[in-house]
Amino acid sequence: MNQAEKEMEQHNTNPENNQTDTQMDINTDENAAGTSKLNEPVEEENQLEKLAAELQEQKDKYLRLMAEFDNFRRRTAKERLDLIQTAGKDVIVSLLDVLDDCDRAEKQLAGSEDIAAQKEGVLLVFNKIRSNLQNKGVKAMESINTEFDVEKHEAITEIPAPTPELKGKILDEVMKGYYLNDKIIRFAKVVVGN
C-alpha cells in the first residue's frame, strides 16, 4: 500500500472523522431544507395574492354582466310595451281612409234620393275596406259547399241535406271565417247538412 491509500484508510476508520463528515452532510441538508422552507411562505403569499386578484376580476365581470342583463331586461320590457300599444297602428291608419269615405257616403245618403248612386257609393266603401284588409294579410275563408272541418269551422246547426252529395258539407255560412297571413283568426260559423 502506498502512503495515500494508508491515510485514506485511517481517515475512514477514525470515528471522529466520520462524525464530522456526517455532521457536514446534515448541516448541508438542513441549510437546503431551511432555504426551501423559507421560500414556501413567500410562494404561498404570491399565489394567494394572485388568486385574490383573479377572484376580484371575476366579481367585477359578474357585476358588470348582471348590470348589463338588467338593462337588457328593462329595455326589452319597454320595447314590448311600446309594441303592444302601437301594434294595430298601421291597420287603424289604413282604415281611417275608409272612415272618411263612410262619412262622405252618409252625407250623400242624407242629401240624395238617387238609390243607384247611393248603392254604388256604399259598394265602393265596402270594396275599399276589403282591399285594405287584404293588403294587411286578411283573407276570407271560403266554406260553402266544402267538407266540414272541425279545425276551421264551428257548426251552429245541422239540417237535412237536400241531396246525398251535400251530406257532411257546409250548406250555409252564418259568419265568415278569416285568415291572417294563413293563420286562422276567426272560425267560420256554418250550417252543416246531415
The answer to whether the beta carbons of residues 191 and 172 sit under 8 Å apart is yes
Give the tens place of pLDDT for each residue, 149-194: 999 999 999 999 899 998 989 999 999 999 999 899 999 999 999 8
| Ranges of each domain in the chain | 14-85, 88-136, 137-194
Q: What DSSP string describes 79-123?
A: HHHHHHHTTTHHHHHHHHHHHHHHHHHHHHHHH---HHHHHHHHH
Topology of the domain covering 137-194: Nucleotide Exchange Factor Grpe; Chain A, domain 2 (2.30.22)
For residue 15, is pLDDT > 60?
Answer: no
CA dist., res. 102 & res. 106, Å (int): 6
What pTM was computed for the model?
A: 0.54
CA dist., res. 151 & res. 193, Å (int): 18
Give the tens place of pLDDT for each residue, 16-29: 544 445 444 444 45
